[in-house]
Structure 1
Amino acid sequence: MPANPKYLTQSKWQRFLKITAAILGGYFVSVSFHLALASWLDRTNVVITMAFSGFILWVVLMILAFLAKSAWKIWGIYILLTLLFLGIMYLGQTYNPITQ
């Protein structure tokens, strides 16, 4: 049973932005989230856990990108989340440096 055309994105530009937000934006958010966790918690455990939870989070973020009405809004949210997690990672590396 084909999808109803009125629910599909008509603009090719919006479709391109949703696809790139799903693949690239979801990946950036997923990786930056786990890197932020690794800067505060035990790195070995986070890296092992990331093999599974990173993929699951990426798939969830892909689905959310296609459920959004506006591709620009989802890109903005993904960029803000990535910057937030990178800031947390920076603070974690500043206040919790690796001692070898």
Structure 2
Amino acid sequence: MPANPKYLTQSKWQRFAKITAAILGGYFVSVTFHLALASWFNRANILMTMAFTGFILWVALMVIAFLAKSGWKIWGIYLLLTLVFSLLIYLGLTYNPTAQ
């Protein structure tokens, strides 16, 4: 049974934004989140668990991207989260250099 067209995204730009946000944006958020944790806690343990939890988080972020109404809005949220986690990485490496 095919999907009802009224529920599908009509704009090709919105579809492109959602797909790229799901794949690239979700990946960036997932990786920077785990690297931020690794910069504050035991690096080896976090990076080992990242092999599993990183994939789970990435898939969850993909689903969230496709549930969003606007692809550009979800891109903005994912970029903001990536910048926040990048700032946490920087602060973690600055104030906690023993976690390297």
Q: Normalising by the residue count of structure 2, what TM-score does the alignment of the two structures yield?
A: 0.97
Percent identity, aligned pairs only, is 78
Instruction: Name the SS of the counterpart of 2:10 in structure 1.
Output: coil
After superposition, the Cα gap between the structure-2 partners of 1:99 and 1:45, relative to the gap in structure 1 and judged at 3 Å, is closer
1:59 matched to 2:26: no
Match of 2:73 in 1: 73
Deviation at 1:99, TM superposition (A): 7.5
Deviation at 1:40, TM superposition (A): 0.2
Corresponding residue pairs, total: 100
In structure 1, give the amino acid aligned to 2:84. L
Conserved 8 A contact 2:36-2:85: yes
Once residues 60 and 99 of structure 1 are traced to their aligned partners in structure 2, the CA distance between those partners, rounded to angstroms, is 28
Deviation at 1:98, TM superposition (A): 3.5
Match of 1:10 in 2: 10
After superposition, the Cα gap between the structure-2 partners of 1:99 and 1:67, relative to the gap in structure 1 and judged at 3 Å, is closer
Query: Which sections of structure 2, spanning at least 5 residues, go unmatched?
Result: none
Deviation at 1:54, TM superposition (A): 0.1
| Residues 29-66 of structure 1: per-residue CA shift (max 9 Å, x gap) | 00000000000000000011000000000000000000
Once residues 20 and 73 of structure 2 are traced to their aligned partners in structure 1, the CA distance between those partners, rounded to angstroms, is 13
Query: Which sections of structure 1, spanning at least 5 residues, go unmatched?
Result: none
Structure 1's consecutive aligned runs of 4 or more residues displaced over 4 angstroms after TM superposition are none
In structure 2, give the amino acid aligned to 1:98. T
Match of 1:21 in 2: 21
After superposition, the Cα gap between the structure-2 partners of 1:99 and 1:81, relative to the gap in structure 1 and judged at 3 Å, is closer
